[in-house]
Amino acid sequence: MGKIYVNNMMFYGYHGVLPQETALGQRFNVDLVVEVDTKQAGETDNLTYSVSYADMYATCKRIVEGEPYKLIEAVAERIASELLAEYALIDVCHVKVIKPDPPIPGHYHSVAVEITRSRQ
């Protein structure tokens, strides 16, 4: 097995519980790690035996910039379930959704949710 990392993808979405989050929107970052059998791709240098970074990015972009959710847990869940459904080569999917500027008084750092989902 191998791992493919797609780190620090940045998007603009309208997810949140508070009215200003869904009205104004905000930045979201996504880190993605997928576990794939990379042996054949490495031996053949053929993308057919791996998963395209660009395609995974496009899936994450469509979800984060699409339908608004109240919770970033739901955003992460949707990303994981769609990646597992779209790419048969992915065995395990780790998704971290980061909200860099949460509207918490006196809080000037990020919050995040990280999940792991697999085919089993």
Beta-carbon contacts of residue 52 (< 8 Å; ≥ 6 apart): none
Is 99 labeled as catalytic in the residue annotation?
yes
Distance CA 54, CA 27 (A): 20
In the set 3, 61, 70, 99, the catalytic residue is 99
Query: What's the burial of 49, exposed, middle or buried (CB within 10 Å: 0-12/13-18/19+)?
Result: middle
Q: Are 64 and 13 in contact (CB under 8 A)?
A: yes
For the annotated catalytic residues, the residue numbers are 99
